[in-house]
Amino acid sequence: MWRIFRPDAVAVLKDERARKSLARYFAVMGGKLPARFLVCKRVRVRVDLSASDEELWRAHERGLEEFRKLLSRIDAGKAKLEDLKKPETSLLDLKVELAKRILKSCHFCERRCGVDRTAGEVGFCGVGERSRIASEFMHHGEESVLVPSYTIFFNGCTFQCQFCQNWDISQYPDSGVEVSPQTLAKLIEGAKRDGARNVNFVGGNPDPNLHTILEALNECEASLSSVWNSNMFYSLEAAKLLFCTQDIYLSDFKWYDNNCALRYSKVPKYLEVVSRNHRLAFADAELIIRHLVMPGHISCCTKPILKWIVDNLGPMVRVNIMNQYRPRYKAEKYEEINRRITREEYESALRIASEVELRNLEP
Binding site for ligand SF4 (CB under 6 A): 106-109, 111-113, 115, 123-125, 127, 158, 207-208
Helical H segments across the chain, by residue range = 2-5, 7-11, 16-21, 23-29, 36-40, 53-75, 91-103, 167-170, 181-193, 210-219, 236-242, 258-265, 270-284, 303-313, 343-355
**Cβ at position 357, least distance to ligand SF4 in Å:** 36
**Cβ at position 251, least distance to ligand SF4 in Å:** 17
**Cβ at position 124, least distance to ligand SF4 in Å:** 4
Q: Which CB, 109 or 301, lies closer to ligand SF4?
A: 109
Question: Sign (positive/negative) of CA torsion 18, 23, 24, 30?
Answer: positive
**Cβ at position 107, least distance to ligand SF4 in Å:** 5
Q: Which CB, 112 or 263, lies closer to ligand SF4?
A: 112
For 184, residues 6+ apart whose C-beta sits below 8 A from its C-beta are: 152, 212, 213, 216, 219, 220
- Furthest-apart CA pair in the chain: how many Å? 61
Q: Which CB, 123 or 148, lies closer to ligand SF4?
A: 123
Q: Which CB, 106 or 353, lies closer to ligand SF4?
A: 106
Q: Which CB, 18 or 115, lies closer to ligand SF4?
A: 115
Tell me the helix, strand and coil percentages in the chain, rounded to 5.
45, 15, 40
**Cβ at position 154, least distance to ligand SF4 in Å:** 11
**Cβ at position 235, least distance to ligand SF4 in Å:** 7
Q: Respond yes or no on whether the N-terminal peptide bond of residue 148 is cis (omega within 30° of 0).
A: yes
Q: Which CB, 92 or 115, lies closer to ligand SF4?
A: 115
**Cβ at position 113, least distance to ligand SF4 in Å:** 3
**Count, residues in the chain:** 363
**Cβ at position 122, least distance to ligand SF4 in Å:** 6
CB of 138 closer than 8 Å to CB of 194: yes
361, β-bridge pairs: 319
**Cβ at position 162, least distance to ligand SF4 in Å:** 17
**Spatial separation of the C-alpha atoms in residues 314 and 350, rounded to whole Å:** 17
Q: Which CB, 34 or 208, lies closer to ligand SF4?
A: 208
- The radius of gyration computed from the CA coordinates of the chain, to the nearest angstrom, equals 20
Cβ-closest position to ligand SF4: 123
Q: Which CB, 26 or 108, lies closer to ligand SF4?
A: 108
- CA dist list (Å): 306 to 85, 190, 265, 321: 44, 38, 20, 9
End-to-end CA distance of the chain: 21
Residue 74: Cβ within 10 Å count: 19
- Using CB atoms within 10 Å of the CB of residue 31, give its burial: 0 to 12 exposed, 13 to 18 middle, 19+ buried: exposed
Q: Which CB, 216 or 273, lies closer to ligand SF4?
A: 273
